[in-house]
A and B are shown apart, each in its own frame.
Chain A
Amino acid sequence: MISHTNAVIRINNLYKNYGAKRVLDNINLEIYPGQIIGYIGPNGAGKSTTVKILTGLIDDYEGDVSVMGMDMRTHSLEIKRQIGYIPENAEIYDVLTPMEYLNFVGKLYGMDTATIRERTERMMDAFGLSGNLNNRMDTFSKGMKQKVLITSGLMHNPSIIILDEPLSGLDANAVIVVKEIMSRLAKEGKTIFYCSHMMDVVEKVSDRIILINQGAIVANGTFTELQAQSGESLEKIFAHLTGDANLEDAADKFVNAFES
């Protein structure tokens, strides 16, 4: 791989404990602009914790995290300004309308009302929601809320975009749109950090795949590089590197439970 000098995200010797439990165990990472990084791992592997550290939500960690050359500990506000974060749990103030919510978020990023208004209208229109701009979101479907959430994360034109399961709840057409948005933004030189359990999507969109298990990185490379290591599909590679036992055995056990 060509060595870039200007990594956008640089993580050195990152450790994080919750009480006695170690969730991140010496993570070292360098991420370069214009890449889509697929960040995968089983439940509880430490994905969300990494994301929370990168977005400045958790600040008591050991090790160094720097984004665009700025240290996370000292420059968290500047870093946050450069990041667009679309969280997994889809928390949103749903008593507000999309217009009100996006106006609120935009202003927190220091945007002016006119720009917010214009972008909101155009982005929501692209998602086919221009008719719902002034309806309260408590009546929205999960997919509609997700579209608002995606808009709220991208509206301020961030250089780094962190997505946690961004496609959940979206219909097939919207999935195509969002995937296309991601690759266009990457071409413009933005860095995209993509967390997901959907292996087929990660396999297709990512320039580089990072697999973590039990708080440590177990694979890091392009899809072809990982293929050479172990197995033909990402699903297989994932199972090979993180499944602690034979997965077919698990299925056997499950089905055999019918017999008494």
Chain B
Amino acid sequence: MNKWLLKVIMAFSSLYERLGADVDQLRTILETKLIMDDRRPLASFNKHQRNKEVKNSSTTLVILSLLFGLVTLVSFMAPDYLFGFSLYFVMFTSLLCMTLISDFSSVLIDVKDNFIILPKPVNSRTILLSRLLHIGIHLAKMVIPMSLPGLVYIAIAVGPWGGLVLALVLFLATGLCIFMINALYLLILKLASAERFKDIISNVQVVFSVFIFALFYLGPRMMGNIKLTGADLLAKRYAYIIPQLWLSSLWNTLVYPHEQPRVVWIMGLIGLVTPFLGVWLVIRYLAPGFDKKLGSLGAGSAPPQKEVSPGVGTGKPGRKPIYQFLSGWINKGSAEESGFEVSWLISGRSRDFRMRVYPSFAYVPIYFFYWVFNQKGSLSEKWGSLPQTQMYVLLIYLSSFAMVTAITNVMYSDRYKAAWIFFAAPTKVPGEVLSGAIKAMLVKYFIPFYLAVSALAIYIWGSSVIMDLVLGLVNVILFGYIMGFIYLKRMPFSAPATVDAGSGRFFRGMVILAVPGTIGFGHYAIRHWLPATSPVMWIFLVLSLALVWMVYSKYREMPWEKLEQ
């Protein structure tokens, strides 16, 4: 596919030459970049794919984009085209923006280029053009398959004119996405230091992936409930600022000009002008200096020297940071403390870890509301009848998902080689370090999260569920340790993300579903028959605590031989 793409692109080589680029160099750079794209795993889609050697990322990207395109067809179930297209463009633009941000920011800010291409005799026009064309190719690989299903559907349902207009509006929508992402990048770069840039981008990625997840899980549910039409949408003033409505208006104005009220005409016009205005804005005001700032991400800038605080070296102990205080309090022995502290610190600073783990905390409430909305009746009825249900059990055990993600990801890092220190240090059993790591995940991430979940539960169901929350917490912690026992058999941050951690995937999947499911069902059954104050609850609490203690002690003794290499 790349060869074919390259041929199409290079068909315009006389134009590039006139723009001042060296055509041979341009072809070489693009060729190489496309090969590298093919071998780079896709960040947005297969986060958990741990293939040894990635070969055909672009083909995967095209197929996935096509699938996404099919999903967007859902929006045409809406009663009219004004609303339907608004929804369609919301899906299209959010998907495009997300994939662009997560897959392409690495390409756009490839610091290696500074070292590899810049010292070579390549002029700046060639470099700039190669960047633009590279971005263009990448976009085409996504946008064309993603818009194909919609185009075909509309061309059949409405007619060829409708399809043609949709193609135009999709083009504008793509422009709008590029503008929004550019504006976002440039704003961040203007406001924040270059060093913080990648951090901020990764946070944006986390938020975005949660948003998409929520959109796909909750969107159709909500839609099933709200039979909204375009007219309803227009009745709400705040809807007028939604750019996707402008795009939808543009399509409707061009295809059914006589049936639209004046406001749709106006919004259509805005939709036509905005992308161009946006691109002009970026070029005129935001872009100057962008490259220079990007350049300073890698080469050139000497890191600012920090003032050395006077306490250092004099042997005076400063105030202990909170994590060290906690560490001394919960852990037994320095090995466990070191495992706890290193996991606490690195998990908060590693972009990789945050990208993998943080979204799962947001998935819990999303799953929960997905279940709630799945019940019969209208939205408000469902919400109103919630206190009479036992859904809090579901909420409690769903939260184990977040903990499992945190625990199973402590072992991964892109700086996995630094983990040699664990093996060089005189640690008696790795179990102690690992136990510290699990405790760090519990204390730093899970318990605060669980407190928030508890607050929500008490808000909905009242204080009568406190006992359930306590029992649930112990059970979920038990589950966490069981997962650690089966799964976490590598030192913290010691494995590259490409390594699959042994012990059969299928088996692991079963455990993740079965254990909390069984415990949760048991909990549900008990509470179905008995009140929270029943002594049976106390018996189970004691039982669970004993089990936690057992698994924990056993895990803490894990010998070197059990560790996976």
A77 touches B119 (CB 8 A): no
Question: Interface 1/0s, chain B 72-116, versus A by CB < 8 A?
Answer: 000000000000000000000000000000000000000110111
When the two chains form the complex, which single residue of B28, B53, B111 contacts A108, counting CB atoms closer than 8 Å? B28
A96 touches B36 (CB 8 A): yes
Q: Which residue of A lies closest to B114 (CB)?
A: A57
B115 touches A108 (CB 8 A): no
Q: Which residue of B lies closest to A21 (CB)?
A: B302
When the two chains form the complex, which single residue of A78, A100, A110 contacts B32, counting CB atoms closer than 8 Å? A100
Does B187 reach chain A (CB closer than 8 Å)? no
A91 touches B115 (CB 8 A): yes
Question: Interface 1/0s, chain B 297-319, versus A by CB < 8 A?
Answer: 00111100000000000000000
B36 to chain A, nearest CB (A): 5
Give the distance in Å from the alpha carbon of A88 to the alpha carbon of B29 in the complex.
23
Give the distance in Å from the alpha carbon of A107 to the alpha carbon of B25 in the complex.
6
Which of chain B's residues have a CB closer than 8 A to the CB of A104?
A: 28-29, 31-32
| Known contacts A18-B302, A107-B28, A108-B25; is-contact A96 B35 (Cβ 8 Å) | yes
B32 touches A109 (CB 8 A): no
When the two chains form the complex, which single residue of A21, A78, A93 contacts B116, counting CB atoms closer than 8 Å? A93
| Known contacts A108-B25, A108-B121, A108-B122; is-contact A52 B300 (Cβ 8 Å) | yes
| Known contacts A93-B36, A100-B35; is-contact A57 B118 (Cβ 8 Å) | yes
Give the distance in Å from the alpha carbon of A83 to the alpha carbon of B122 in the complex.
13
Q: Which residue of B lies closest to A81 (CB)?
A: B121
Which of chain B's residues have a CB closer than 8 A to the CB of A87?
A: 115, 119
Does A237 reach chain B (CB closer than 8 Å)? no
A95 touches B119 (CB 8 A): no
Does A179 reach chain B (CB closer than 8 Å)? no
When the two chains form the complex, which single residue of B53, B116, B122, B300 contacts A58, counting CB atoms closer than 8 Å? B300
Give the distance in Å from the alpha carbon of A91 to the alpha carbon of B40 in the complex.
17
B119 touches A55 (CB 8 A): yes
Q: Which residue of A lies closest to B28 (CB)?
A: A107
B36 touches A57 (CB 8 A): no
Chain B interface: which size bin?
Answer: 20 to 34
Does A89 reach chain B (CB closer than 8 Å)? yes
Which of chain A's residues have a CB closer than 8 A to the CB of B116?
A: 91-93, 105
B299 touches A52 (CB 8 A): yes
Q: Which of B32-71 contact A (CB under 8 A)?
A: 32, 35-36, 39-40, 53
Does A56 reach chain B (CB closer than 8 Å)? yes
Q: Which of B112-137 contact A (CB under 8 A)?
A: 112, 114-123
Which of chain B's residues have a CB closer than 8 A to the CB of A23?
A: 302
Give the distance in Å from the alpha carbon of A252 to the alpha carbon of B299 in the complex.
36
Give the distance in Å from the alpha carbon of A109 to the alpha carbon of B31 in the complex.
15
Q: Which of B187-209 contact A (CB under 8 A)?
A: none
Does B24 reach chain A (CB closer than 8 Å)? yes
B302 touches A109 (CB 8 A): no
Q: Which residue of B lies closest to A104 (CB)?
A: B32
Give the distance in Å from the alpha carbon of A110 to the alpha carbon of B28 in the complex.
10
Does A10 reach chain B (CB closer than 8 Å)? no
Which of chain A's residues have a CB closer than 8 A to the CB of B112?
A: 91-93
Q: Which of B285-340 contact A (CB under 8 A)?
A: 299-302
Q: Which residue of A lies closest to B298 (CB)?
A: A91
Interface size on A, residues (CB 8 A): 31
Give the distance in Å from the alpha carbon of A95 to the alpha carbon of B32 in the complex.
10
B120 touches A109 (CB 8 A): yes
Q: Identify which of B31, B115, B119, B299 gathers the most chain A CB atoms within 10 Å of its CB.
A: B119
Give the distance in Å from the alpha carbon of A78 to the alpha carbon of B120 in the complex.
10
When the two chains form the complex, which single residue of A18, A83, A93, A100 contacts B119, counting CB atoms closer than 8 Å? A83
Does A80 reach chain B (CB closer than 8 Å)? yes
Give the distance in Å from the alpha carbon of A10 to the alpha carbon of B319 in the complex.
54
Which of chain A's residues have a CB closer than 8 A to the CB of B299?
A: 52, 57
Which of chain A's residues have a CB closer than 8 A to the CB of B29?
A: 104, 108
Give the distance in Å from the alpha carbon of A257 to the alpha carbon of B29 in the complex.
54
Q: Which residue of A lies closest to B304 (CB)?
A: A19
A60 to chain B, nearest CB (A): 9
Which of chain B's residues have a CB closer than 8 A to the CB of A91?
A: 111-112, 115-116
B24 touches A57 (CB 8 A): no
B119 touches A80 (CB 8 A): yes
Give the distance in Å from the alpha carbon of A44 to the alpha carbon of B303 in the complex.
11
Which of chain A's residues have a CB closer than 8 A to the CB of B40?
A: 95
Which of chain A's residues have a CB closer than 8 A to the CB of B28?
A: 103-104, 107-108
Which of chain B's residues have a CB closer than 8 A to the CB of A78?
A: 121
A180 to chain B, nearest CB (A): 25
Give the distance in Å from the alpha carbon of A56 to the alpha carbon of B121 in the complex.
9
Which of chain B's residues have a CB closer than 8 A to the CB of A56?
A: 118-119
Question: Interface 1/0s, chain B 403-420, versus A by CB < 8 A?
Answer: 000000000000000000
Which of chain A's residues have a CB closer than 8 A to the CB of B115?
A: 87, 89, 91
B53 touches A107 (CB 8 A): no
When the two chains form the complex, which single residue of A44, A81, A83, A136 contacts B53, counting CB atoms closer than 8 Å? A136
| Known contacts A58-B300, A93-B116, A136-B53; is-contact A109 B36 (Cβ 8 Å) | no
Give the distance in Å from the alpha carbon of A145 to the alpha carbon of B396 in the complex.
51
Does A15 reach chain B (CB closer than 8 Å)? no
Which of chain B's residues have a CB closer than 8 A to the CB of A85?
A: 119
A105 touches B39 (CB 8 A): no
Which of chain A's residues have a CB closer than 8 A to the CB of B301?
A: 18
Q: Which of B1-44 contact A (CB under 8 A)?
A: 24-25, 28-29, 31-32, 35-36, 39-40
Which of chain A's residues have a CB closer than 8 A to the CB of B36?
A: 93, 95-96
Which of chain B's residues have a CB closer than 8 A to the CB of A136?
A: 39, 53
A2 to chain B, nearest CB (A): 32
B121 touches A109 (CB 8 A): yes
B32 touches A93 (CB 8 A): yes
A96 touches B121 (CB 8 A): no
Q: Which of B140-170 contact A (CB under 8 A)?
A: none
Q: Which of A64-86 contact B (CB under 8 A)?
A: 77-78, 80-81, 83, 85
Q: Which residue of A lies closest to B299 (CB)?
A: A57
Q: Which of A223-249 contact B (CB under 8 A)?
A: none
Q: Which residue of B lies closest to A88 (CB)?
A: B115
Which of chain B's residues have a CB closer than 8 A to the CB of A108?
A: 25, 28-29, 117, 120-122
Q: Which residue of A lies closest to B301 (CB)?
A: A18
Q: Which residue of B lies closest to A80 (CB)?
A: B121
B285 to chain A, nearest CB (A): 23
Give the distance in Å from the alpha carbon of A17 to the alpha carbon of B280 in the complex.
34
B300 touches A57 (CB 8 A): yes
A110 touches B24 (CB 8 A): yes
Which of chain A's residues have a CB closer than 8 A to the CB of B120?
A: 80, 105, 108-109
Give the distance in Å from the alpha carbon of A186 to the alpha carbon of B374 in the complex.
78
19 contacts between A and B (CB under 8 A): A52-B300, A57-B114, A57-B119, A57-B299, A57-B300, A77-B123, A80-B119, A80-B120, A85-B119, A87-B115, A91-B116, A92-B112, A93-B112, A100-B32, A103-B28, A104-B29, A105-B120, A108-B28, A108-B122
The 5 closest A-B CB pairs, nearest first, are A80-B121, A107-B28, A91-B115, A95-B39, A81-B121
Binding site for B on A (CB under 8 A): 18, 21, 23, 44, 52, 55-58, 77-78, 80-81, 83, 85, 87, 89, 91-93, 95-96, 100, 103-105, 107-110, 136
Beyond the given pairs A21-B302, A100-B35, 16 more chain A to chain B contacts, judged by CB atoms under 8 angstroms and listed by A's residue number, are A56-B118, A57-B119, A77-B121, A77-B122, A80-B120, A81-B121, A83-B119, A95-B36, A95-B40, A104-B29, A104-B31, A105-B116, A108-B25, A108-B29, A108-B122, A136-B39
